[in-house]
Amino acid sequence: MDLKPVIQTSDPLHVQVEQFLRHQILHGRLREGDPLPPTHELGHQWGINHLAIQKAMKHLVRDGLLVRRQRKGTFVRKKPARFAIGILVAASLMEQSHYFGRAVVHYLQLEIQQKPDWICRVYDGIGHTLDASQNLPSHQHLRSDFQNHVYAGIIQLVPQFDAFQLLIPGVDLPIVRLAPLLKNAPGDVMLDYGHFGMETIRFLSQQGIQKIAYLRAFCNYDWGKIPDLDGVQKACATWNLPPVEIHHLKADTGGTHLEKASYEKTLRLIETWKSKRQWPEALLVSDDIAMRGAAMALLQKNIPIRDLSKPQRPASSQLAVVTMANEGVEHLYVSPIARYELSPQKIALELVRILGEKINGASPTPTPVMIQGQIKT
């Protein structure tokens, strides 16, 4: 047997041998019907204890990749009828505020269910940043499943570019990634934050609005530069608007922490605008969870909100509000908030389509594919 595994990780020897043989079978280097030498012979060739090879082969027989025939030996079996697609999610889907992740995973599951040879496995709570020393329950679950299922590809909803490689080292699988902008490289599918900045400012300009404040919410994850401000600045230059008043909102994590931080930040902004008697005509918010906190503060301070779905010109005291949001995910803002909606279904469709191209070796779609939203009032 000409192929030889490279033993270089801290994983148990039999795990590395199993991953090596699994990869050779799934990628056609070992074909259906090919015989494998006896474990003692392989052990001698590879310089590996034959018991580790024997254990690895036992797992592959269990998974249906190898078959043992009495007095004949061990052979590569035909590929299984169905392959697993792993979905890695940074946050826990049990978090009440993780609406976006649940929506994308829901549509991913629907898309994968339509593929006759795919099954879906979801691993949430992976973490936004990780290293090889971490061993969270989701990591253990993934590693355990990897010994019991044959994977065809991975869909990664984790900002860290090499998340899967850190969790399952030495395994080369097709991977597609959704991310705003990864530190190392762009994702395969990305949310077009530049379009968000450009389109929302254009929309507000068409309503006769010039003075705009932007509550820019983001968490302390190393995503690199997110180009929303480029879109905002370009829109201001295009429609001859004064510079937008930018207010950065940081939170250690998303969810309730972000909502609380937004609530407190908006209260301070209201007091500042009130004391200086310099009110913006519109407030733009970059996150729907942050919008919940901002809406609560506006309601508490009795700030009148302009209904942008109505064509009549409002009183000067009304504040127009626009937020980024997810299509199909509704929040109770009480006030009439306009929404720049991104489609989780469209995101899922693109991720599955690109993964299918990678698995099948088709001519790849130029990436990243940029997902744009549209404004709804």
Cα–Cα distance for residue pair 322/11, rounded to 1 Å: 50
The pLDDT tens digits of the residues spanning 282-318 come to 999 999 999 999 999 999 999 999 999 887 665 567 9
pLDDT band at 359 (very low <50, low <70, confident <90, very high): confident
| pLDDT score for 114 | 93
Cα–Cα distance for residue pair 132/116, rounded to 1 Å: 34
- Nearest partner of 309 among 294, 321, 291, 293, judged by Cα: 321
The pLDDT tens digits of the residues spanning 334-355 come to 889 999 999 999 999 999 999 9
The two most distant CA atoms of the chain are separated, in Å, by 91
CATH of domain 83-190+347-371: 3.40.50.2300
| Among 87-101, 212-226, 239-253, 360-374, the least confident range | 212-226
| pLDDT score for 237 | 96
Half-sphere exposure of 355 (CA within 13 A, CB side): 28
Is pLDDT above 80 for 75?
Answer: yes
Is pLDDT above 70 for 182?
Answer: no
Q: Are 179 and 223 in contact (CB under 8 A)?
A: yes
Average pLDDT, the chain: 87
Domain range annotation of the chain: 13-76, 83-190+347-371, 193-342
The pLDDT tens digits of the residues spanning 201-227 come to 999 999 999 999 999 986 545 555 678
pTM of structure: 0.78
pLDDT band at 35 (very low <50, low <70, confident <90, very high): very high
Is pLDDT above 90 for 197?
Answer: yes
CATH class of 13-76: mainly alpha
- At the topology level of CATH, where does 193-342 sit? Rossmann fold (3.40.50)
13-76 and 193-342 share one fold: no
The pLDDT tens digits of the residues spanning 242-259 come to 999 999 987 666 677 889
- The predicted model gives 99-116 an average pLDDT of 94
Tokens read off for 298: 């506006």
E strands present in the chain:
35-36, 66-69, 73-76, 83-89, 118-123, 151-157, 175-177, 189-191, 212-219, 245-251, 282-285, 320-326, 338-342, 369-371, 374-376
Long-range contact set of residues 269-274: C-beta below 8 Å, sequence gap at least 24? 269/213, 269/215, 270/297, 270/298, 270/301, 270/303
Which helix (H) or strand (E) segment holds residue 201: the answer is helix 193-206
| pLDDT score for 376 | 95
Is pLDDT above 90 for 269?
Answer: yes
Number of H helices, E strands in the chain: 11, 15
